[in-house]
Structure formats: C-alpha cells, structure tokens
Amino acid sequence: MRLAAGGRIDRARRIEFRFDGRVFEGHPGDTLASALLANGVRLVGRSFKYHRPRGIFTAGPEEPNALVDLRAGARREPNTRATTVELFDGLEAASQNRFPSLEFDVAAVGGLLSRFLPAGFYYKTFMWPAAFWEKVYEPLIRRAAGLGRAADAPDPDQYEAMHAHCDVLVVGSGAAGLAAARAAGAAGARVILAEQDFELGGGLLVEPAHEAWRTQTLLALAAMPDVRLLPRTTVFGFYEHNVLGAVERVADHLPEPPPYVARQRYWTVRAKQVVLATGAIERLIAFPGNDRPGVMLASAAEAYARRYAVAAGRRAVVFANNDWAYYAAFALKQAGIEVAEIVDVRPETAKAIATHHHGIPLSLASEVVAVAGRKSVAGVTVRPRGGGRARRIEADLICVSGGHDPAVALASHTRAPLRWSAELAAFLPGDPVQAERSAGAARGVFGIAAAAHDGARAGAEAAEAAGFRAAAGFALPLPDEAHHTPIQAFWEAGVPGKSFVDLQNDVTAADIRLAQREGYQHVEHAKRYTTHGMATDQGKTGGIVGVGVLAKARGATVEQVGLPTYRPYVTPVTWGAVAGREVGKHLTPTRRTALHHWHLRHGGVLQETGLWMRPFYYTATGEAGWEPILREARAVRRAVGICDVSTLGKIDVQGRDAAVFLDRLYTNTFSTLPVGRARYGLMLREDGIVFDDGTTSRLGEQHYLMTTTTAKAADVLEHMDYHAQIVWPDLDVRFCSVTDQWAQMSVAGPKSRATLQSCVEGLDLSNAAFPFMAVGEGTVAGCPVRVFRVSFSGEMAYEIATPSYHGVAVWEAILAAGRPFGILPYGLEALNLLRIEKGHVAGSELNGQTTARDLGLERMLKKSGDYIGRVLAERPALNAPNRPRLVGIRAVDLSFDRRLRGGAHLVEKPGSSESLGWITTVTFSVELKRWIGLAMLRNGAARKGQRLHAAFPLRNESVEVEIASPHHVDPENERVRA
C-alpha cells in the first residue's frame, strides 16, 4: 500500500500501467516493483524450476524473482527486473514462467515432484533414452523451465556506441561516489560519475537526514565543467588496461524513444583511474519458505518505505544477524508499518536499547524456521537457535538481513584478489591490480558519513594518481552513530525444508550439500552442478550463502572455499546495445568500385564477395539461370568483353631494393623482368604452402606494381610489411596499397586489340610493339591509362587501369569502341567460367592447403636464391608423389542437367566410399559445351584420360567424368599471344 506521506515520488502526477493485463496506477519516481507493491500486488512470478509463487525480493538490480516481460511486440524485453524499471505512462508488463496464469500454474505441481528435480537433474533425469532428448525432454524443459520470451520481430530502436576518456571514473553515486567525484573534480580531473539508478544518491536516497548534503554535493558537481554525471548508466565490466564498459539507458524510461534518440548507449570508457563506489548488497538467509511472496531483504523494505512511500506489508518481522537491519526496522516503524518483532540470531546487540525505545519486541539468539502462507506470507515460526519451543508470529512481511556483501564484482573483473573479513563476515576487494580503488561500502566501510569520508579520500587519491593535486576539503556528512555489535555469520536455519540459497535458479541449501556429496566440492563445480549463482542475477543475494553452506559441508572455512570467478556482465546487457549501429549492412563496410553505379544502371546483378560489391552478371530481359553468364562468356570467346577487375589488390612497390625484395617475396624472379613488362608471380607462406598469386609489372628500374587476389590483398600487404620491417630491414623498399586509387578493367577476346586500338591513344598496341605481357601507358578519352597485356580468360586480353575518378569515362569509351565488334560487359560468373576453361587457379585451389607442385606450378620455383617458403616447401611430405594434384575434369554426359558440383568427391565406381580427390570448382563450358571443372586428384598426372565418378552424396548424385589437363581451352597458349 502507498503510505500517506513521504517518499521521492511525484504524487501530483499519476501514471497508468498494466501488469498481466490489469490496469494499475503509480507515480513518477516509482519503479514497476514499487508501483506493484503500492497496489498490493505481491505475487509477480513463478520460479524457474518448481514454479513456486514468488514476490518482489529486493529494490534494486540484484532482484532474483521479479522478472517480467516488459513492453509488447517487437519491443518486448524478457527477464527485465521490475525493481529497476522506471514507471512510464502506458507501461505494459507480463509475468513470466507461468501457465496458464500466474495465480494458477499447472506446473507448480513440479513443486510436489521436487524430490525428482535435485541438483544436477538435467544430467541425471534426462540421460536416457537418448532418442527422447530432442523430442520429449528438451521441449518439456524449455516449456517448463524457460525464463521470458524474446521478441520475435526485429528491434525497431537504435543503439549507439560512445567512447570516452577520463582521468577518474567513479562508479556509483552513493555517499562514497559523490564524495569521490567531488574530490577528484575539485582537483581538476576530468571525471565521469556513472550511476545505474535513475536518481543519483545510492543509499542517500533512503536517508532523509542527509538529503541536504546530497543536493548540495550534486549542485557542486553540476557546476564543475569537467565532471560528467551519467545516471541510468550501469558499468557492467572492468576490462584490462582500465577500459570499462557501461550501458546508458537513454530512453528506457519512456514509452518509446523520441525520433532520432537512441534507446541505449554502450559506453567504452578509458579511465586513467577508477573509483569503485558500488556499495554493498544485502544477503539472504536460508530458511524453509524464504522464497514466499512477502519475504524481502530488510534494506528493500526500508527503500520501499522511505524512497517510494510504499508499505511492503502491514506487519513485519525482521530476521537478522547484524545491527544494520535494525535501522530498516526503525524506518518501517517510523513509516507506520507495524514491526512485530526483530529476530536476531546473535545473543546480544548494541541496538537492544534503541529497539526497546522504538517499542519493538526483540528475540535474541533466535531463528526463523518456517513460513506460513503460500502465495503470500501469513506468519513465521520462530524458535531459539538450534532448538527449543517454537512459536508463531502473525506477519505478512519478513525482512531478511544476512549481512551485506560489498559489490566487488567490478574489482574482481580486474583479477584483484578478494580478502575475507571475519569481522564483517564478507569478502572485500584485496590489493588492486589495475589503476582502481574501492571506496565506501564497496570495501566494507559502512554508514553514510564513513563512506563519504572514504570516498573523498579515494577521489583525492585517484586524482593525484592521475597527475592532479588534490584541492582543499569540502563539507562531508556528520559522523554516524557509533557502536555496533559485530555481525555473526549465519547462512541457514538449522531445520530441514526448502531453504533457498538461490531464488532465481531454485537452488536450495540441500542441493549444495548434495553436490558436495556427489563430488562437486570446488565452488566452481558446485556452481555448475547446481546452477547456483547463474542467470540474470548472478547470485547477488545468495551467492555467499551457498558458499557458506558448501564450506560447512566440506568442513572448510568460507575463505578456503572462496567465491566463483566474477565475469562481465555485472547485470544483463541488451544485445541491441552491444551491437549498436553495427547491424545489417552496417556490420562490415561495403566496398564499391568506381564503376559501381554504372553496373547498377546497366542491369548488373551485384553481390557481396568479401566486402566488395561485384556484378555477377548483367541481365537482359527474360534471361534466367545461366543464360546471361553463358552469353557474356561467349562474347569474350568470339569477340570481346569488358569486366571490372578493380577489386584486385594493387600494391605499388618502390625503392633501390624493390627488385631484391620481390625476388624474396615471390618464388620466381622479378629482378630480371625488363621495364615495361609484366610477369605472373607465385607467393608462398614460410611453411611452403601457396599464399597468393598475381601479375607484377615493372614500371621503372626501381618501381613495380604488384597485383594480388581480391581476397588476400590486405593479408599480402601485412605479410610484406612484416618482412620489410622485421626480417629484412636492411632493404631499401617502400610500398603501399593503391587498390582504391585505380579503376581497372579487363578487355578480353579476339577483338580486344581492335577495340583498344580504336580508343587508346599514345600507345602502339600492335602485337610486335606490344606483345603478351607488355606494359605501357597511353590515354583513353583524354584520361591517362596504364595498359597491361595480361590474360586471365585465355583470350587475347588487356587490363586497363585508370585513376578511379576516370573509371566510368574510360569504361564507356572502351564500350563505345567495342560496339562494332559486339562488346559486352561480363560479370564475375563469366570471369570464373573463362578462367576455369583456361585452367587458371583461384581461391578454391589456393585454399591454404596446396603447394606449388600440387597446382602444377613447380616450374615457378626458382632454383637459386632465397625466397619465403623455400626451405619448408622442400619437406618430403609436401612433395610426396601421391599428394592430390590439380587436374581438369569434364562430364562425359553433355546434358546441362547432369551437372557437376564443387566439393564432389572423385571415386573409381559409383557408390565407392574411397575418395581419390575432390572437385574444387565447376562451370558449364561454352567452348566444350558440357560441365567441366578443376579438381585435386591423387596421382592426378597419371590419370589423364581415365574415367571416374563425381559423387555428391548429399544430393545422391554421381556423374561420370573424364580426367583431363586443367587447360581445357587453348593449352598451347596461342590465343593470348595472337
């Protein structure tokens, strides 16, 4: 119920929202959880395994129970913690993991069968029979034990990535965080203060007595130009080198983001120094029924009363092992909630007098052993610790406090060790590994004033470590009330029953003991076996309790058992935020050639090849399937075609030692290449396997232009950089990529010379003056061009390169010149068809497993001089005679429908499972008018003329093929020299 007065809510405004279809009202300043409690809604979900009714347990991101599907349709977000969802007008939420309804859940019967669902039940129950897994068990488990439902439509919202640098990052805006930010800011440091809540203040938000200090400090921070305050921002990970990740919920508190506003921002913060003022999280106590709706952390009940003006119940019992819980009890009492009793496990407390003063009955050395009520708490059973007369107390709210765990997750991400404090019965951050320090409750310094002083110290220290001089002091809260009786570690009431140590995963203390008995002694093993501490809350409220139970079972100390490793993320992060703008087409850059728009305008069908967009073919109306490809290839074989080959890697190499460098880079020699000539080159990796190939031209005595395959361009450049900078730094050679600077086109076919002769000026293209492999310069349509007489198609061919901005002009001039001959543009598919006919190797053959010899290129290996890969290429196994070797294959059947397939295996007889090799690439040959291909075949050279079968079992196909030379067309190389 809503209290009559108090709280940080705006009572003047009302917000309407829906939960499971019912309409409720709340106020600005509410979370979904506080608004539900204000409306008397206690049952908010069903548990993961047993479908037990669950209520709101916390008032923060550590919430294990109150997970809801938030919003609807494409914006539906599962597993959202109701305790952190800011209420907005029209908010729609649904409970999870219930069927058919929250009030009546048929699977709750699982609770009755719970002795069949022990720890490790996945491994035990569903082992056998194996065939049942997919059809029966898995759908059953997914239905019964799922959490929320993901949206099934694309996320309509945008997410942004932010990159920030700062001197001091302060995580958390409680007393310690605010003081740290102010101290660092006053020293002149650039400060970012990140707070996961929508209001700054942390624990101060439930301390009306310190409200003036909070406001004053925030005003001071707002006045500092180099201090950036980031509310609604969760720092979720602390990575190496002081890089931290955070997600800012920019528009999550609105029904939907305004136009052009991101829903969330993913921050990557590079901080010189970090102050972790992340506070502490109250822990639960395991006792039978500690999961019933109405059982709640004491701090949460206090927060609902003080911050949200909500009574989480009418009559409360506080069950605690520490003095801090008494403040919660007093706060409830002050808010008008009856506190029936404080049940303290300790024999004494310094708060006894104050308790008496508040008129609250106190039972020392006592424990809660049972909870009455199923969907809502109706009472508790209390007895003296260890045994004795039990009595029932009527109550609808049980406030639990098993102590406070400093929120050490971020510190722990840095691999800073954790230190057990027996005095505080908690793990504290140990010596920092990175440039960070914890402050306040995050390192066990509890209490507003103590935390503020600690924060001011940490902020000043951080600023000094970042190179600033700390300034004079500022006002800090007055010291807290002193004299506390130490906490007494207490994990579990000493009675049998379902005592949960992990509410989200339905893990009980008995499950932990079972895991220990079955050999899962290590905390990491026990965690995985029982799922304790997993899922969205990562065991924030009960992790240490499970460790305590395990320690007792092992006869070890909590310190010896330790905590499981903390890893990012501290709280769940939406995939949308991680992906940011890098979705769909923005995942990778798109590379377009200078002729891209020409292709689009002229029927080019563009597809991605790596990052590049390349025309596969150009369609004329009515053409289907292979028709356009065959038409383009025929044009090249019969007349002339033009193809955009700008994507080939181009590397300009210069320097006194350029020739020596290339001699070492390639297996063949380039120092002997005359100026004005090109040569095909083969490159190995140092392990002797073929790396790349391409033609390299000598443009001047000390000036070469290399080409690489499209796919390997970047790798080749890095390979060259490594060898030039590290292996042979003595060589005087410089090079850089000029791929994007030049548009390049292949003009191929018997009419290619005639075509170019009518458009290239300033260069004699006659066969005598410009033979095969000649390189020269001229102009086309007034644009400078380089002309290379090289051929990939097996026809007489030229490659024309021009600076990219002249690309379209040169291309169109060549097309115009070729029109009398019937010139056609051809795409990547025809290019591939032609090269397969000619038997040129490409990516499918240069696949990182083949040697020069495998490809029939052993003549490319020079006999003398060092080159990369030479020594290891000589290893016997790489030269074994039975290695698969490149051959050509031709279908015996001329039918187009009896096609060959890349990847098919070559076998002696149909049905044989002994593979002799495999087909690397296939095409339908316009010259041979049948399917042909290239293949890697054992003893390939000796099998020429043999007939084998190309088996493709996936499609149950077997096609008879004849083994031939890879050079299906013009093996004598006459056409290219014509």
Partner 1 sequence: MHRITCPWCGPRDEIEFHYRGDATVSRPPAGAGAAAFYDYIYTRGNPLGWHLEWWAHAGGCRQWVKVLRNTATHEIKATGKAWDALNKPK
Q: Binding residues for partner 1, per CB under 8 A?
A: 239-243, 268, 270, 415, 433, 686-687, 714, 717-718, 721-722, 725-727, 729, 865-866, 870-872, 874-875
Q: Is 404 or 664 the residue whose CB approaches partner 1 more closely?
A: 664
> Of 149, 197, 204, which Cα lies nearest the Cα of 174?
204
Task: Give the residue among 859, 429, 918 at the shortest CA–CA distance from 682.
Answer: 859
Cβ of residue 161: shortest distance to partner 1, in angstroms?
12
Minimum CB separation of residue 434 from partner 1 in Å reads: 9
Tokens 């219930």 correspond to 98
Two tokens at 954? Answer: 């996936």
DSSP letter at 479 equals: P
Which burial class, exposed, middle or buried, applies to 280 when counting CB atoms under 10 A from its CB (0-12, 13-18, 19+)?
buried
The least distance separating partner 1 from the CB of residue 864, rounded to whole angstroms, comes to 10
Question: What are the tokens at 759?
Answer: 């458009």
How many other β-carbons are positioned within 10 Å of the β-carbon of residue 684? Answer: 23
718 vs 732, beta carbon nearer partner 1: 718
Q: Which helix (H) or strand (E) holds 213?
A: helix 211-222
CA geometry: angle 197, 202, 203, nearest 5 deg: 145
User: Is 22 strand, coil or helix?
Assistant: strand
Q: Which is nearer to partner 1, 33 or 192 (CB)?
A: 192
For partner 1, the closer of residues 290 and 668 by Cβ is 668
Closest contact distance (angstroms) between CB of 245 and partner 1 is: 9
CA atoms of 552 and 640, how far apart (whole Å): 85
| DSSP letter string, 347-360 | S--TTHHHHHHTT-
Q: Which is nearer to partner 1, 583 or 816 (CB)?
A: 583
Q: Which is nearer to partner 1, 130 or 726 (CB)?
A: 726
By beta-carbon proximity to partner 1, the closer residue of 423 and 874 is: 874
Q: Residue 575 or 722: which CB sits closer to partner 1?
A: 722
- Nearer to partner 1 by Cβ, of 871 and 942: the residue is 871
Exposure of 922 in the CB half-sphere (CA atoms within 13 A) = 22
Dig out the tokens for 534 from the structure: 């997993």
CA 183 from centroid of its chain's CA atoms = 36
Q: Which of 405, 420, 429, 424 is nearest to 533 (CA)?
A: 405
C-alpha distances out from residue 186 to 164, 277, 459, 637, 676, Å:
20, 18, 10, 78, 69
CB of 718 to partner 1, least distance (A): 6
- On whether the CB atoms of residues 65 and 300 are closer than 8 A, the answer is no
Q: Would the CA dihedral through 869, 874, 877, 882 be positive or negative?
A: positive
Query: First vs last Cα of the chain: how many Å apart?
Result: 95
CB of 102 or CB of 269, closer to partner 1: 269
- Provide the pairing of β-strand 227-230 with 67-70: unpaired
Q: Which is nearer to partner 1, 150 or 871 (CB)?
A: 871
- Residue among 686 and 927 whose Cβ is closer to partner 1: 686
Of 288, 349, 290, nearest to 494 by C-alpha is 288
Q: Is the dihedral of CA 782, 785, 787, 791 positive or negative?
A: negative
CB 933 within 8 A of CB 902: yes
Strand order in the sheet with 391-394: 366-372, 379-384, 391-394
- For the record, the structure tokens of 231 come out as 């509310």
> Could you say which DSSP state residue 224 is in?
-
**Choice between 864 and 913, CB closer to partner 1:** 864
Report the 10 Å Cβ neighbour count for 259.
Answer: 5
In the complex, least distance from residue 725 CB atom to partner 1, rounded to whole angstroms: 5
Smallest distance, Å, CB 560 to partner 1?
23
Inter-CA distances, 343 with 30, 346, 368, 388, Å: 30, 9, 7, 15
Phi first, then psi: give them for residue 725, nearest 5 degrees.
Answer: -85, -35
What is the rounded distance in angstroms from the CA atom of residue 501 to the CA atom of residue 488? 18
For 552-581, the DSSP string reads HHHT--HHHH-PPPP-S-SS---HHHHHTT
Cα distance between residue 221 and residue 513, in whole Å: 50
Closer Cβ to partner 1, 266 or 324, answer by number:
266
Written in H, E and C, the secondary structure of 807-867 is HHHHHHHHHHHHHHHCCEECCHHHHHHHHHHHCCCCCCCCCCCCCCCCCCCHHHCCCCCCC
Which residues, other chains included, contact 124 with Cβ-Cβ below 8 Å and sequence gap of 6+? 118
23 versus 726: smaller Cβ distance to partner 1: 726
- Which C-beta is closer to partner 1: that of 242 or that of 702? 242
Question: Which residue number, 93 or 416, has a Cβ lying nearer to partner 1?
Answer: 416
Question: 224 or 873: whose CB is closer to partner 1?
Answer: 873
Least separation in angstroms between CB 239 and partner 1: 5
Q: Which residue, 273, 94, 108, is CA-closest to 183? A: 273
> How far apart are CB 177 and partner 1 at their closest, in Å?
24
* Residues β-bridged to residue 420: 427
Q: How far is the CB of 870 from partner 1 (least distance, A)?
A: 7
The secondary structure of 60-74 as a DSSP string is STT-SS-EEEES-GG
Distance CA 593, CA 174 (A): 55
